C-alpha cells in the first residue's frame, strides 16, 4: 500500500513537471470546453430574414414584427421574389417569406392562408431550428383563434439553453480522450525511456505498478473534471445540477477506470507517443460518435444502436445527462452504473492483461 | 529546376508512405470522419418517444392521438397512467415527451370553451426539445383547426407555411452536413500529412540529406508536397463518391469546378502544414498543432453550424480570415445549387482562394530554413 | 594555399557554446581527425564547414569563402556530409539499391556507364553487393554505416565530412570503413574530415585535432601529439594528489620517481585535465553494511537461445559468472549483447536453455521474485526518470526496493559523496553531463546492495576521463563488496579491465577466456582489438 501511494505520488509529480502535458490537460478542461459551449450555437441567432409583401401590410406586418432579436435580425424587404431568391443564392439571406396578394383576404375570410417560405437548407442545423421557430411563431400568432391552451413545459431546462448541454457533452468527450491518452503515454514513455525494465527488476509486483500508474492518471482526470465543473460548467455556463454531485463523481470515476483500460491496451500495442495519438483517435472517434453525444441512440441506425450497447461512453453520457438535467434519483441510475461497471471491468481487465503480458 | 532530383524525392516519398503503411491513414482518416459524422449527426427529429395520456377518450381525442401515431416524427404510446408516473418515465429517459389531453376535451371544444392541453418535453437535449415541442404544437393545432373548420367555429383562416426549401427539398441532414465535412477533412488531412512528411525527416535526421545537398528550398518543398498533393487529390474523388453514392447527396453543379477548387484548397491546406513544419521538430507536436489550428476554424466557420450571414462582430471578420468559408461556399454550390461560374460571388471566392494559396505557399517557402536550429 | 581554410569558427546554441575559436587548414588527399568526447564541439565545427548551421567566422574552400549556410550553397555540390548516428541519413524502408539511386538523383549525378562502374566498385568495397534488395532498416549497424558512407561518396565529393562514422560499429566493419576512406582519398584526392571516439584510429589520420569543452586543445600528427605529453607519463603508481592513473599509466605534471611509460593519445586528455586542474574526486567505496555470504558461482547458464520470428538473436550461449569477477561481454552492435543481458534478467523470456541464478534454477517469473533484491542493473542510455531530480530518482528507486527511508537517505548521501555527484543532487538528469548520469545510475543500482551487477554499455558516449573513473569505481566495488559484474561494451580497450571476456558475434559465442589467457594464445597482439579481430575474421 505504501508502494502504491509512492508510485501514485511520483506519477503526479512527473505529470506536474511536464509542462506540455499540463497545458494540454488545462486547455482541454477549460478553454476547449468553453469554446465548444459558447461557440457551437444550434439555436437560430441573428438570422437574416428577407420578405416580399404583396398584401399591402396588416397581418403580414404583424407577423413580421414577431421576428425579433436575438434570434432574428430586422427583416429586410425585397421588391420581387427574384431579388429575394438571388440574395438567398448568394447566402446573404437565409430565410425568405413571400406574402402573396390573396394572403390577407384568405385569412380574413376563413380560408387557408399560405405564406411561402424560402429556406436555405445548406446551413444544416440552423435551417431546421429556424423553421421550427417560424412555425412556433405562426402557431402562437393564431392560437388565440382557437379555444385551446397549449401549456408547454420544457422540463429541466426551461429556456432550452444549448450552451450547458454542449459544454457538458464536450467535457465528457474530453474526459474520454484524455484518460485514454494520458494512461497510454505514461506507459509508453517508460517503454521509450527504458525505465520500465528497471521497475520490473525491483521486488515490487508489476501488477501494483500498473494499477498505481493508471490510478494516478484517473486522479489527474478527476481533478480536471472538478476544475472544469467549477470554472466552466457551473462558473461560465451556470449548468443546473438537478441530481447528486457525488453520483456524478462516482460514475465519472468508474468510467475513467474503464477508459484507462482502453489506454492500457493502446499502450500495449504502441511503440511511441506518435502511435498512441493515432491509435487513440482511431479507437475513440467511433466510440464518441456511437455514444449518443450528438444524436440520441434511439435515433441512430439500428446497427449502430446495437453497437452502442458496447460503448461504456453511452452509459456514461446518458447517466450524466440524467444526473445533471433530469435529476434522476440514485435508484433509477442503476442501468448506467451497471453498464459502466460491467464494460469498465471487462475493458480494464483486458487492457491490464494485455500490458501485463508484455512485461 | 532539377527534374531528376525532384522525381527521385517524389518516388522515395511514395515508397516510404507505402511501406510505412502511413498511406492507410491518408485514406482511412478522411473517409472515416465523413462517414462517422455523416451518420452520427442527426438534427432532424424522428421517432421521438411520446407518451399520451388521454383523459377524454372521445372521438376528437382519438383523432388527435392517431395523428401522433401515424407520423414518422413520433413513436406514440397511449397509456393510462398518472401524470406523476409519466414524468418519472421522462426522468428515467424512457420518454421524450408527455402529452396530456384533459377530460371533456371534446365537449369543451365544441362549446367553444377553453381547454388546456399539457405538454411536457425533456429538455436535456435542448435543440431536440424545441423541435419536438414545435412538432407537438403543430400537430395539435392542425387537428384543432380541422375540427374547428368542420364545426364552423372559427371566423379566421389558418395560416400555414408553404415550405419551399431551397437546395435541399427534403431537409436531409446528409445533404447539409456532408459537403461541409468534405471542407473540414480536406483542410485537416493534407495539412497533417504535409507537416509530417517534413518533420519526420527532421526528427529522424534524414533532413541532413537536404541540408547538405545543392537542392534548393523550392525544389525540396515541391518534392515533399507533390506526393501529398497527389494522394489527397484522389481523396477529392473518394469523398465525392461517398457523398453522392453513400449519402445520396445530389450533385447539381459542375464537376470541374468542384475538382479544381478542391485542388486549390488542398494546396492551401498543404501550405498550412508546411508552415507548421517550419516551427516544429517533433512529429507528435506537429500533429497536435495542426489539429488545433485547423479543426476549430474548420468547424466554426464552415457554415455547418452557423451560416456566415448570421455571424456578427468579430466572428464575422474571423470567418473571412480562414479559407474554409470560401471553399465551402463553392462546395455547397456545386453539390446543392449549381450556379457555378455564372455567379460573380463564386468567381470572387475562387480568386480569394488563389490568393490564399499564393500567400501561404510563399510564406512557407520563405520561412523554411536550409540549416539546423 | 590550402584547399580548405577554416578561420575562427564559433557556434553557440541557446544555452551553451558549441565551439569557439576553431581554425584549421587541410590539403587535398589529407585525412583530418577530430577527437574528443560528446559535446566537445566536433559536430558543431563539422556542421559549420558543411554549411548546415549558422556560424561566426569564415570558411574558404578552393577560393570560395562563406560565412553562412546561405553562402555555403555554392560549395555544396563538392561537399559530402555524413552526420553522427548509425544510419541517420538512411530511410528504413528503402533498400540498398534504392538508396544508391536516390542519393545519385538528389546529387544530380548522370547515370552513365562510368557511374555504374563506380557504384559497383563502392558496393563491392563496402561488401554490400549481395544485399542490394535488403531494406536499410534490416541491415546491421556496420552495414548501415558503410551504406551511408558510399551514399555520401556517390557524387565524388572533394570535401568529405564524416561525423563519428565508426562509433558503435564492429571492429571489422571499422577496418573496412577506413580502407574505403584511404582508397578514396588516394584516388580522388578528397579532403576527409573525420571524427571518432576510438583513439586507436588516430594512427590512420594525417593530422589530429583534440577537442575538449568547445575548444581545440591540441593539434598535430599522431606522433607529435604523443611526444608532446611524453614528459608527464609514468608507469602506474599509487599517488595521492595532482595525478591521474588509468590503463597502467599514471599522469602527473610534477616529476615522479618512477619509470616513464610509452604515452598514448588518450593521455592527452589526462594531461589536459591536470593542466586545467580538473581533478577528479577520489573514489572511495566503503564496505557493505553487513557482510553477506555469496556462493562461489553466482550465475550459470547453458544453451541460452532467443528468437525474434525467424531471426535468432542468441544462439545457444553458455555463460558462467563467478563470485567477485568482472566479466566483459564484447561484440559489435547487433551481436546480441543487450538481448542476452535482458534474458538473464528476465526482461525477455528465454526461448531455450537453462539458467541458474544465485543457486536457484529459474523456471518462471516467480522464481526471480526473491532474487530481485540481490541484482542491480544499469541499462543502456541510463534509464532514469527525466522529470525528477537526481535525489528524487534515487529516493524513488530506494522505495521501490522497500529500503527503510532512513537507511535509504543515508546511503544516497554516502554514494553521492563517494561517487562524486553530490553537487548535482537537485538537478534534472537531462541537464547533466553523461558521465554524471552514469555515476548516479550506478548509485541507483547499488542502493539495495546487490550481489550481482549487470551493466549494459555503461560507457558509450562518455568521455575518456569519466570512463577511467567509472572503471575505478567498478574495481573498488569488486574489491570492497566482492560483487560480481557482467558488463557489455563496444570499446575493445576496456576488455583490459575485465577479469574474463566473452565474445559474441551474430548471437553466437565465439570466445570465452581470461584476459591473461587471451594474450597468452595471441602473443603478437598489441591490444585486445587485435585479438578480437582474429576471432571475428576466423569465424567469417
Q: How far is B96 from chain A (nearest CA, A)?
A: 10
Q: List every span in chain B annotated with CATH 3.40.1710.10.
A: 48-151
In B, which residues are within 8 Å of A89 by CB distance? 337, 339, 343
Residues C157 and C241 in one domain: no
- Look at residue A131 and tell me whether its pLDDT is greater than 70: yes
Q: Tell whether C47 is within 8 A of chain B (Cβ).
A: yes
Could you give the percent of chain C with pLDDT greater than 70?
A: 99
Residues A259 and A113 in one domain: no
Res A169: pLDDT: 84
Residue C287 located in a structural domain: no
A47-52 mean pLDDT = 87
In C, which residues are within 8 Å of A359 by CB distance? 347
A158-183 mean pLDDT = 83
Residue C155 located in a structural domain: yes
pTM of the entire predicted model: 0.83
Confidence of residue A159 (pLDDT cuts 50, 70, 90): low
Residue A314 located in a structural domain: yes
Q: Are C495 and C468 in contact (CB under 8 A)?
A: no
Taking residue A69's Cβ as centre, other Cβ atoms within 10 Å add up to 9
**First-residue to last-residue Cα distance in chain B:** 27
C222-241 mean pLDDT = 86
| Cα A290 → chain centroid | 12
Residues C130 and C181 in one domain: yes
Q: How far apart are CA B67 and CA B69, in angstroms?
A: 5
Residues C246 and C215 in one domain: no
Residue C435 located in a structural domain: yes
**Residue B19 backbone dihedrals phi, psi, to 5 degrees:** -75, -25
Q: How far is B358 from chain A (nearest CA, A)?
A: 26
Least confident span in A214-228, B154-168, B323-337, C521-535: B154-168
Q: Are C188 and C152 in contact (CB under 8 A)?
A: no
Residues A196 and A286 in one domain: yes
Low-confidence ranges of chain B (pLDDT < 50): none
- Look at residue C235 and tell me whether its pLDDT is greater than 80: yes
Q: How far is C16 from chain B (nearest CA, A)?
A: 13
For the stretch C169-225, pLDDT in tens is 777 788 888 988 998 899 888 999 999 878 888 888 999 999 888 889 889 999 999
Residues C169 and C252 in one domain: no
Q: How far is A184 from chain C (nearest CA, A)?
A: 17
Q: Is the peptide bond before C334 cis (omega within 30 degrees of 0)?
A: no
Residues A123 and A187 in one domain: no
Indicate the residue among C180, C197, C220 that finishes a domain: C220
Q: Are C466 and C306 in contact (CB under 8 A)?
A: no
Residues C55 and C101 in one domain: yes
Chain C, residues 376-405, CB within 8 A of chain A, namely 377, 379-381, 383-388, 392, 396-397, 399-402
Q: Whole-number mean pLDDT of chain C?
A: 86
Residue A153 located in a structural domain: no
Residues C265 and C187 in one domain: no
Res A41: pLDDT: 62
Q: How far apart are CA C121 and CA B357, in angstroms?
A: 47
Residues A124 and A180 in one domain: no
B-C CB pairs within 8 A amount to: 83
Residue C285 located in a structural domain: no
Q: ipTM surpassing 0.85, yes or no?
A: no
Residue A151 located in a structural domain: no
- Look at residue C165 and tell me whether its pLDDT is greater than 70: yes
Best mutation target among C89, C90, C106, C161 (most B Cβ atoms within 10 Å) is C106
Confidence of residue C80 (pLDDT cuts 50, 70, 90): very high
Which residue of C lies nearest to B6 if distances are taken between CA atoms?
C106
Res C266: pLDDT: 83
CA dihedral in degrees (C408, C412, C414, C420; nearest 10)? Answer: 170
Q: How many domains does chain C have?
A: 3
Q: What domain range includes position C249? A: 222-275
Residue A196 located in a structural domain: yes
Residues A168 and A219 in one domain: yes
Residues A353 and A239 in one domain: yes
Res B169: pLDDT: 61
Residues C198 and C258 in one domain: no
Q: How many domains does chain A have?
A: 2
For the stretch A11-46, pLDDT in tens is 898 888 888 888 888 988 988 888 877 766 666 778
CB contact under 8 A, C83 and B208: yes
Residues A342 and A261 in one domain: yes
Confidence of residue C33 (pLDDT cuts 50, 70, 90): very high
For the stretch A76-86, pLDDT in tens is 888 888 888 88
Which residue of C lies nearest to B207 if distances are taken between CA atoms?
C89
- Look at residue A358 and tell me whether its pLDDT is greater than 70: no
Q: What domain range includes position A333? A: 2-40+160-358
Res B191: pLDDT: 93
Residues A236 and A330 in one domain: yes
Residues C445 and C427 in one domain: yes
Confidence of residue C25 (pLDDT cuts 50, 70, 90): very high
Residues A245 and A307 in one domain: yes
Q: How far apart are CA A318 and CA A176, in angstroms?
A: 14
Q: Tell whether C103 is within 8 A of chain B (Cβ).
A: yes
Residues A198 and A235 in one domain: yes
Residue C453 located in a structural domain: yes
CATH number of the domain bearing residue C113:
3.40.50.300
Residue C227 located in a structural domain: yes
CB nearest C384 (choices: A18, A195, A203): A195
Q: Say if residue C363 is exposed, middle or buried (CB neighbours under 10 Å; 0-12, 13-18, 19+).
A: exposed
Residues C356 and C494 in one domain: yes
For the stretch C281-305, pLDDT in tens is 677 777 777 777 788 888 888 888 8
CA dihedral in degrees (A341, A346, A349, A354; nearest 10)? Answer: -140
Residue C336 located in a structural domain: yes
C234: β partners: C250, C260
- State the cell numbers at C118: 563506380
Residues A140 and A165 in one domain: no
Res B151: pLDDT: 64
Q: How far is B274 from chain C (nearest CA, A)?
A: 20
Could you give the percent of chain A with pLDDT greater than 70?
A: 93
In C, which residues are within 8 Å of A12 by CB distance? none
CB nearest B309 (choices: A93, A109, A112): A93
- Look at residue A220 and tell me whether its pLDDT is greater than 90: yes
As separate numbers, helices (DSSP H) first and strands (DSSP E) second, chain C gives 16, 23
Residues C238 and C337 in one domain: no
- Look at residue A146 and tell me whether its pLDDT is greater than 70: no
- Look at residue A295 and tell me whether its pLDDT is greater than 60: yes
CB nearest A197 (choices: C383, C392, C400): C383
Sheet of C4-12, strand order: C17-26, C4-12, C56-61, C64-66
Chains that touch A (3 or more CB pairs under 8 A): B, C
C432-437 mean pLDDT = 79
Residues A311 and A212 in one domain: yes
- Give domain B48-151's CATH superfamily: abc type-2 transporter like domain (3.40.1710.10)
Side-chain half-sphere exposure of A168, counting CA atoms within 13 A: 28
For the stretch C348-368, pLDDT in tens is 888 888 888 888 888 877 778
Res B333: pLDDT: 86
Residue C405 located in a structural domain: yes
Amino acid at each position: 500500500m505504501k508502494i502504491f501511494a509512492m508510485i501514485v505520488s511520483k506519477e503526479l509529480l512527473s505529470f506536474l513537471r511536464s509542462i506540455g502535458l499540463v497545458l494540454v490537460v488545462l486547455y482541454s478542461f477549460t478553454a476547449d470546453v468553453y469554446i465548444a459551449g459558447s461557440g457551437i450555437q444550434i439555436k437560430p441567432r441573428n438570422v437574416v430574414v428577407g420578405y416580399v409583401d404583396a398584401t399591402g401590410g396588416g397581418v403580414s406586418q404583424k407577423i413580421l414584427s414577431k421576428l425579433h432579436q436575438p434570434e432574428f435580425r430586422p427583416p429586410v424587404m425585397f421588391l420581387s421574389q427574384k431579388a429575394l431568391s438571388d440574395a438567398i443564392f448568394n447566402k446573404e439571406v437565409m430565410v425568405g417569406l413571400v406574402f402573396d396578394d390573396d394572403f390577407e383576404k384568405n385569412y380574413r375570410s376563413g380560408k387557408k392562408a399560405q405564406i411561402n417560405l424560402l429556406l436555405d437548407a445548406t446551413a444544416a442545423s440552423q435551417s431546421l431550428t429556424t423553421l421550427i421557430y417560424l412555425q412556433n411563431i405562426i402557431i402562437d400568432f393564431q392560437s388565440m383563434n382557437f379555444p385551446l391552451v397549449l401549456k408547454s413545459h420544457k422540463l429541466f431546462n426551461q429556456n432550452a439553453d444549448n450552451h450547458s448541454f454542449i459544454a457538458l457533452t464536450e467535457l465528457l468527450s474530453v474526459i474520454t480522450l484524455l484518460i485514454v491518452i494520458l494512461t497510454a503515454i505514461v506507459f509508453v514513455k517508460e517503454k521509450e525511456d527504458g525505465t520500465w525494465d528497471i521497475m520490473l527488476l525491483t521486488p515490487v509486483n508489476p501488477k501494483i505498478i500498473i494499477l498505481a500508474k493508471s490510478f494516478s492518471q484517473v486522479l489527474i482526470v478527476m481533478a480536471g473534471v472538478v476544475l472544469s465543473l467549477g470554472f466552466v460548467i457551473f462558473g461560465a455556463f451556470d449548468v443546473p445540477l438537478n441530481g447528486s454531485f457525488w453520483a456524478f463523481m462516482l460514475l465519472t470515476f468508474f468510467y475513467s477506470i474503464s477508459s484507462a483500460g482502453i489506454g492500457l491496451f493502446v499502450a500495449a500495442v504502441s511503440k511511441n507517443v506518435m502511435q498512441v495519438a493515432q491509435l487513440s483517435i482511431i479507437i475513440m472517434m467511433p466510440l464518441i460518435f456511437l455514444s449518443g453525444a450528438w444524436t440520441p441512440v434511439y435515433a441512430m441506425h439500428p446497427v449502430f444502436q446495437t453497437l452502442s450497447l458496447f460503448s461504456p461512453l453511452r452509459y456514461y453520457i446518458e447517466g450524466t445527462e440524467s444526473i445533471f438535467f433530469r435529476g434522476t434519483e440514485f435508484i433509477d441510475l442503476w442501468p448506467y452504473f451497471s453498464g459502466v461497471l460491467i464494460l469498465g471491468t471487462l475493458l480494464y481487465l483486458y487492457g491490464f492483461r494485455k500490458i501485463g503480458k508484455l512485461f | 529546376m532539377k527534374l531528376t532530383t525532384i522525381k527521385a524525392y517524389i518516388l522515395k516519398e511514395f515508397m516510404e508512405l507505402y511501406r510505412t503503411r502511413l498511406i492507410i491513414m491518408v485514406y482511412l482518416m478522411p473517409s472515416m470522419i465523413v462517414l462517422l459524422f455523416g451518420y452520427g449527426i442527426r438534427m432532424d427529429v424522428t421517432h421521438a418517444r411520446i407518451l399520451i395520456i388521454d383523459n377524454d377518450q372521445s372521438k376528437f381525442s382519438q383523432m388527435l392521438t392517431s395523428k401522433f401515431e401515424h407520423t414518422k416524427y413520433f413513436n406514440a404510446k397511449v397509456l393510462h397512467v398518472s401524470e406523476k408516473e409519466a414524468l418519472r418515465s421522462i426522468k428515467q429517459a424512457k420518454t421524450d415527451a408527455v402529452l396530456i389531453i384533459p377530460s371533456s376535451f371534446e365537449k369543451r371544444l365544441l362549446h367553444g370553451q377553453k381547454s388546456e392541453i399539457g405538454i411536457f418535453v425533456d429538455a436535456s437535449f435542448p435543440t431536440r426539445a424545441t423541435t419536438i415541442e414545435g412538432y407537438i404544437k403543430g400537430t395539435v393545432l392542425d387537428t384543432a383547426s380541422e375540427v374547428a373548420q368542420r364545426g364552423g367555429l372559427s371566423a379566421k383562416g389558418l395560416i400555414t407555411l408553404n415550405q419551399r426549401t431551397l437546395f435541399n427539398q427534403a431537409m436531409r441532414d446528409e445533404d447539409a452536413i456532408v459537403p461541409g465535412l468534405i471542407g473540414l477533412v480536406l483542410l485537416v488531412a493534407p495539412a497533417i500529412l504535409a507537416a509530417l512528411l517534413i518533420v519526420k525527416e527532421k526528427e529522424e535526421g534524414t533532413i541532413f540529406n537536404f541540408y547538405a545537398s545543392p537542392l534548393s528550398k523550392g525544389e525540396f518543398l515541391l518534392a515533399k508536397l507533390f506526393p501529398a498533393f497527389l494522394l489527397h487529390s484522389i481523396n477529392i474523388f473518394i469523398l465525392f463518391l461517398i457523398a453522392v453514392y453513400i449519402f445520396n447527396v445530389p450533385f447539381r453543379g459542375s464537376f470541374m469546378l468542384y475538382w479544381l477548387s478542391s485542388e486549390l484548397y488542398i494546396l492551401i491546406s498543404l501550405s498550412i502544414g508546411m508552415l507548421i513544419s517550419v516551427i516544429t521538430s517533433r512529429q507528435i507536436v506537429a500533429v497536435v498543432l495542426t489539429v488545433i489550428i485547423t479543426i476549430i476554424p474548420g468547424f466554426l466557420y464552415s457554415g455547418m453550424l452557423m451560416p456566415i450571414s448570421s455571424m456578427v462582430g468579430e466572428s464575422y471578420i474571423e470567418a473571412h480570415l480562414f479559407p474554409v468559408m470560401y471553399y465551402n461556399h463553392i462546395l455547397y454550390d456545386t453539390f446543392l445549387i449549381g450556379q457555378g461560374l455564372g455567379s460573380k460571388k463564386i468567381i470572387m471566392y475562387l480568386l480569394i482562394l488563389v490568393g490564399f494559396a499564393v500567400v501561404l505557399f510563399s510564406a512557407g517557402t520563405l520561412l523554411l530554413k536550409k540549416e539546423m536550429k | 594555399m590550402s584547399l580548405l581554410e577554416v578561420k575562427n569558427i564559433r557556434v553557440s546554441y541557446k544555452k551553451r557554446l558549441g565551439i569557439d575559436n576553431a581554425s584549421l587548414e587541410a590539403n587535398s588527399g589529407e585525412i583530418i581527425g577530430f577527437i574528443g568526447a560528446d559535446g566537445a564541439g566536433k559536430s558543431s565545427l563539422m556542421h559549420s564547414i558543411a554549411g548546415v548551421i549558422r556560424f561566426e567566422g569564415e570558411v574558404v574552400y578552393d577560393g570560395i569563402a562563406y560565412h553562412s549556410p546561405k553562402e555555403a550553397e555554392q560549395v555544396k555540390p563538392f561537399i559530402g556530409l555524413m552526420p553522427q548516428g548509425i544510419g541517420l541519413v538512411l530511410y528504413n524502408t528503402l533498400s540498398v539499391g534504392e538508396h544508391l539511386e536516390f542519393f545519385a538523383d538528389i546529387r544530380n549525378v548522370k547515370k552513365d556507364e562510368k557511374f555504374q562502374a563506380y557504384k559497383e566498385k563502392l558496393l563491392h568495397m563496402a561488401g554490400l553487393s549481395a544485399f542490394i534488395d535488403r531494406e536499410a532498416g534490416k541491415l546491421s549497424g556496420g552495414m548501415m554505416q558503410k551504406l551511408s558512407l558510399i551514399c555520401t561518396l556517390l557524387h565524388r565529393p572533394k570535401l568529405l565530412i564524416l561525423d563519428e562514422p565508426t562509433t558503435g560499429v564492429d571492429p571489422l566493419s571499422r577496418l573496412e570503413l577506413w580502407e574505403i576512406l584511404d582508397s578514396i582519398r588516394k584516388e580522388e584526392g578528397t579532403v576527409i574530415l573525420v571524427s571518432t571516439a576510438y583513439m586507436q584510429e588516430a594512427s590512420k589520420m594525417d593530422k589530429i585535432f583534440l577537442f575538449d569543452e568547445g575548444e581545440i586543445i591540441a593539434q598535430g600528427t599522431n606522433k607529435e601529439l604523443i611526444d608532446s605529453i611524453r614528459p608527464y607519463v609514468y608507469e602506474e603508481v599509487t599517488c595521492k594528489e595532482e595525478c591521474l592513473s588509468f590503463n597502467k599509466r599514471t599522469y602527473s605534471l610534477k616529476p615522479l620517481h618512477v619509470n616513464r611509460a610509452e604515452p598514448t593519445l588518450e593521455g592527452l586528455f589526462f594531461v589536459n585535465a591536470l593542466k586545467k586542474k580538473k581533478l577528479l574526486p577520489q573514489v572511495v567505496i566503503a564496505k557493505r553494511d553487513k557482510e553477506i555470504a555469496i556462493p562461489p558461482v553466482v550465475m550459470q547458464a547453458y544453451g541460452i537461445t532467443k528468437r525474434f520470428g525467424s531471426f535468432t538473436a542468441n544462439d545457444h550461449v553458455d555463460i558462467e559468472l563467478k563470485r567477485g569477477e568482472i566479466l566483459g561481454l564484447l561484440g559489435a552492435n547487433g551481436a546480441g549483447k543487450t538481448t542476452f543481458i535482458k534474458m538473464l534478467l528476465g526482461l525477455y523470456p528465454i526461448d531455450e536453455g537453462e539458467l541458474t541464478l544465485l543457486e536457484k534454477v529459474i523456471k518462471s517469473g516467480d522464481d526471480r521474485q526473491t532474487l530481485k533484491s540481490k541484482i542491480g542493473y544499469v541499462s543502456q542510455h541510463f534509464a532514469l526518470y527525466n522529470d525528477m531530480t537526481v535525489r528524487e530518482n534515487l529516493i524513488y528507486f530506494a522505495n521501490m526496493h522497500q529500503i527503510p527511508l532512513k537507511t535509504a537517505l543515508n546511503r544516497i548521501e554516502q554514494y553521492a559523496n563517494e561517487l562524486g555527484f553530490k553537487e548535482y543532487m537537485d538537478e534534472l538528469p537531462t541537464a547533466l553531463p553523461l558521465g554524471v548520469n552514469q555515476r548516479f545510475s550506478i548509485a541507483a543500482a547499488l542502493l539495495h546492495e546487490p550481489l550481482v551487477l549487470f551493466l549494459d554499455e555503461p560507457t558509450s558516449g562518455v568521455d575518456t576521463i569519466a570512463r577511467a573513473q567509472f572503471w575505478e569505481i567498478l574495481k573498488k566495488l569488486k574489491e570492497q563488496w566482492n560483487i560480481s559484474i557482467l558488463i557489455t561494451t563496444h570499446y575493445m580497450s576496456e576488455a583490459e579491465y575485465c577479469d574474463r571476456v566473452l565474445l559474441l558475434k551474430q548471437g553466437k559465442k565465439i570466445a570465452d577466456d581470461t584476459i591473461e589467457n587471451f594474450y597468452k594464445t595471441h602473443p603478437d597482439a598489441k591490444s585486445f582489438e587485435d585479438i578480437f579481430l582474429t576471432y571475428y575474421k576466423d569465424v567469417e
